Amino acid sequence: MFKNLINLAKRGFVGLCLVLACWPAAAADDAAGKVADKPLFRDPVFDGAADPSLVFNPETGKWWMFYTNRRATAEGLRGVEWVHGTKIGIAESADGGATWSYVGAAEIDVPVEIASGEPTFWAPEVTRVAEGQWRMYLTVVPGVFADWSHPRRIVELRSDDLLHWTDAKPLPLANEKVIDATVLQTPSGKWRLWYNNERDGKSIWQASSDDLTEWTDRGKAIGQRGEGPKVFRWRGKYWLVMDLWRGIGVFRSDDADNWEQQPTPLLAEPGVGEDDQVIGQHPDVVVSGDRAFMFYFTHPGRRGPDARKDTAEQRRSSIQVVELHERDGWLTCDRDAPTHVRLLAE
């Protein structure tokens, strides 16, 4: 760097001044990370990436994103069959989350007593419980259906490589129509799980476990209708964000039991970026150092006069990312500003 500056100085003082003027800004950008792609990721199989869940893969040294691989471009399907029969896709990033490439589908072993025939997998929640030990809390529907009137359960799976998932165990939750788990280990070492209870008006319920062996359902946590809850700790608070179908609802808590709702949801107003001109849905949040990034999906085709049509354009979905900020005790974000993302290795 200094040799280059000296060479520039020999060519002229003006050139040296220009380099020095730009150097601090460039260094700051490098520290903040690369500008994320927009859209961040589109699934190459069915163009239906949704419900992201991110973890750092220490074996590959890359970040992995698990997602529901909706069959948006599949033909000849009835009703909502395109949202059924879905696998869990995996994408990876080698640059801290700014660019992503497709890896494949997670290999998930669910026995016939849980889901016979062709199962449906939704909303993976992946978390590391010890070195080399991973758990996935997965919504499983026992088949492919054209409507929403069928059972679904949250199933725990285990893996030591993030690719192969076995030892499926349904959790003893409120009923057999529950979806969208989020799991967090509290400072005491105990585990908490929040989920969407569809039979209770799609409110958010919770369960707890001392050691991930036995779970105890603890009833309703938040009465707000919604789905896709994500709980995380950041800046001395517990936060819960969830899909309200009109933006991302935000709740905060000091103890993860008593929640206060933010007056204004996030991502309720359409953005201007590619595939981002609609509401944001079903988020994940990655806390990296003192920064927090929200990953969400959009239905880019659900806008304008054709918003209510049911074609591949309205079905397709894209993953996006935005950095979160705290202002006056609540969360904010600017989806139209370039998002410099730098997820740290864990």
Tokens of 77: 């399907």
Report the run of H or E that residue 323 belongs to, with start and end. Answer: strand 318-327
How much is the average pLDDT of 192-199? 98
User: What would the pLDDT profile of 206-229 be if each residue is shown by its tens digit?
Assistant: 999 999 999 999 999 999 999 999
pLDDT at 163 over 60: yes
Contacts of residue 232, Cβ cutoff 8 Å, sequence gap at least 6: 184, 238, 239, 285, 287, 292
Eight-class DSSP state of 345 = P
pLDDT level of residue 117 (50, 70, 90 thresholds): confident
* pLDDT value at residue 21: 46
* pLDDT value at residue 248: 98
Tokens of 188: 């005491």
User: What would the pLDDT profile of 286-321 be if each residue is shown by its tens digit?
Assistant: 999 999 999 999 999 999 999 999 999 999 999 999
Report the distance separating Cα 196 and Cα 206, nearest Å. 9
Is 18 within a domain? no
pLDDT at 123 over 70: yes
* pLDDT value at residue 40: 98
* pLDDT value at residue 24: 54
Which CATH number goes with the domain that contains 158? 2.115.10.20
User: What would the pLDDT profile of 231-255 be if each residue is shown by its tens digit?
Assistant: 999 999 999 999 999 999 999 999 9
Nearest-10 Cα torsion for 42, 323, 106, 84: -60
Is 329 within a domain? yes
Is 322 within a domain? yes
pLDDT at 68 over 80: yes
Count of other CB atoms within 10 angstroms of residue 218: 15
Domain tally for the chain? 1
How much is the average pLDDT of 269-285? 98
Beta partners for residue 284, in sequence order: 295
Is 99 within a domain? yes
Cis peptide upstream of residue 229 (ω within 30 degrees of 0) = no
Is 9 within a domain? no
Is 166 within a domain? yes
Nearest-10 Cα torsion for 90, 94, 96, 99: -70
pLDDT at 16 over 60: no
Is 242 within a domain? yes
pLDDT level of residue 144 (50, 70, 90 thresholds): very high
> Residue 334: which domain range?
33-341
